[in-house]
Amino acid sequence: MGDLGNTYSIDPGTVRKELSQILSSDKFRNAQVLSMFLQFVIEETLAGRINEIKEYTIGIRALGRPPDFNPQVDAVVRIHAGRLRRMLHEYYEGEGSTDPVLIEMPKGGYVPLFKHRNGNGTDDRLLNHISNDIPLIQRKATIAVFPLRNLSIDNSKDFFVEGMGEQICVDLAKFQHLSIIPCYPSLKFLAQKEVPENHKEDDFDYMLTGSVRFAENRVQVNVELMIADTGALLWTHTYQRHFNAGMLYTIQDQIIEHLANKLADTDGIVTKNIIQNSSLRKKKVLGVYESVYLYYSFREKYDSDTLEQARLSLENALAIDPDNALIWASLSKVYLHNYCIRFESSAADLEKGKMYAERSMWLDQNCQYAHKAMAWTHFLTGKKQDCREAIERCLDINPIAPSVTGSMGFLMICLGNYLHGFQLLLKTMYLNPITTWYCNLGFALYYYHSGNYQETLNWAQRHPQGDIPLMLLVRLSAKGKLRQENVKVEMEELHESDHRTIKRAPQILNQFVYDNELRIKLLIGLSHD
């Protein structure tokens, strides 16, 4: 064949243009089944989901086979793949003989490959990648959980140790921004010493392992998290508990709850490690999910620059993977957060947040982050009952994530369900003592409702970032209730935007505080007469 063209990667738009050209040709125009087959495998490749291009998924999603489709019995995919290869060959021999790009599907698989051709229509090298801006591999950060080892002389509690390893996998898998490789498939690594090399086979980033020791009436659980590339320890913890036979499962639940949120929450060790050590290799491996982790870094910093970076990154990710519910939900929360913290709220932010949350729910009704975004959407649009239902559904999916319990606890208090909201905030504090703005504000509102204005002020002043409108109102109102002498001076020294916030106090309180009695008390405090 002739020389390869000068371009060594193919832009997705160019590939889609070639696909459109093929599908509109005489040969493919009346071959609907083969057209759907070809379009499916190409779009999955451009989206970076080549691992999804399998006989079963093609049968279900491209050829319309029922969920019980069995490729071992029904050879329909293999038959149509053979027909598709022949028709592509015939197309490029005829109508497509001068096309600048070739699309092929080599025998032995279903992943399409792309070729550049020179001006003479010849080619000599396959390109199985597209533009470097679009990662082929797109997956979440992955933890392989190895079985815990019972190091006690007594092996009568092996059942407990094995069960604990299984439960760790179950609870970690509830954090939907991570992928978990369960214990028992990982057993094959135990007999091999070169673990850092083996991780390439199953494509995981972190390894969780540990041991359990029983001695008299005490149990000790050691847990280690290692970086798969190097085998370096990233985090270790030792849990020691007194126990009796009736307490074993209570102890198990307590340890796993702490471990899971410490490692896997959006503010946890894994996410922070990804953000702080985002190598080029990791960017290519994580693909669109890097934008989700960037959004989580914004949640820690709460500054406008990181917010804008997160928004742009998430929007770029959606252009690559428009069917990703987690990304839609994260982008929804960016806009809803922006709506909450801006001194001049934007109706456009609220509308986008609502639209993106609904899109996320439509794509995946089991996505916890979609339910979280919907809860905030209902809350900000005055739908009290819908908000409560969304909160309950959100908590049902994963009740041990502090980033969720804190957020939902704040909403519950704003709705007037003080006891439930307070309990969720206390649980959040137990799981993660570093509280976010909505936790601080939730506690402040709870104590204001209880008449404890000094404690209200303590919580309202814990917020280190620039004032959030509602936080400003609660703080000034608590000072007014306490008759602090400097409150009038502080009022006079407020920034112009703060004065505008105070003028809008009734409007802000009407939207964020559902309890009419509490709203009136806050407004009285702001009057400081």
Chain segment 310-349, per-residue pLDDT in tens:
888 898 888 778 888 999 999 999 999 888 876 566 788 9
Amino acid code (one letter) for 362: W
Place of tokens 């193919």: 10
The 10s digit of each residue's pLDDT in 163-200 is 898 899 989 999 999 988 875 544 444 444 344 444 44
Asked if residue 190 and residue 79 are part of one domain, the reply reads no
For 33-59, what is the mean pLDDT?
86
Report pLDDT for 408: 97
Give residue 457's domain range.
Answer: 405-529
Asked if residue 486 and residue 393 are part of one domain, the reply reads no
The 10s digit of each residue's pLDDT in 444-490 is 999 999 999 999 999 998 875 556 889 989 998 998 888 765 666 56
Asked if residue 242 and residue 186 are part of one domain, the reply reads yes
Domain end marker among 98, 127, 156: 127
In a domain, 5, yes or no: no
Asked if residue 207 and residue 161 are part of one domain, the reply reads yes
Asked if residue 167 and residue 107 are part of one domain, the reply reads no
Q: What is the CATH number of the domain that holds 310?
A: 1.25.40.10
Place of tokens 């008759």: 483
In a domain, 195, yes or no: yes
In a domain, 439, yes or no: yes
Distance CA 498, CA 469 (A): 8
Distance CA 413, CA 449 (A): 10
What is the SS3 string spanning 50-70?
A: HHHCCHHHHHHHHCCCCCCCC
In a domain, 134, yes or no: no
Asked if residue 419 and residue 373 are part of one domain, the reply reads no
Asked if residue 238 and residue 147 are part of one domain, the reply reads yes
**In whole numbers, what is the pLDDT of the chain averaged over residues?**
82
The 10s digit of each residue's pLDDT in 121-179 is 444 443 443 344 444 446 788 898 988 999 988 777 788 888 898 899 989 999 999 98
In the chain, how many domains are there? 4
Asked if residue 385 and residue 449 are part of one domain, the reply reads no
Helix (H, G, I), strand (E, B) or coil at 212: strand
Residue 130's φ and ψ, nearest 5 degrees, are -115, -160
Domain end marker among 377, 398, 419: 398
In a domain, 133, yes or no: no
Contact status, residue 263 vs residue 143, Cβ threshold 8 Å? yes
Asked if residue 312 and residue 382 are part of one domain, the reply reads yes
For 98-116, what is the mean pLDDT?
81
The CA-CA-CA angle for residues 415, 416, 420, to 5°, reads 95
In a domain, 165, yes or no: yes
In a domain, 117, yes or no: yes
User: Rounded to a whole number, what is the distance in angstroms from the first to the last CA of the chain?
Assistant: 90
In a domain, 3, yes or no: no
Q: What is the CATH number of the domain that holds 229?
A: 3.40.50.10610
Asked if residue 226 and residue 298 are part of one domain, the reply reads no
Asked if residue 527 and residue 409 are part of one domain, the reply reads yes
Domain end marker among 95, 127, 159: 127
The 10s digit of each residue's pLDDT in 200-211 is 444 678 999 999
Contact status, residue 234 vs residue 269, Cβ threshold 8 Å? yes
Report pLDDT for 184: 54
Asked if residue 434 and residue 318 are part of one domain, the reply reads no
Contact status, residue 210 vs residue 223, Cβ threshold 8 Å? yes
Report pLDDT for 485: 56
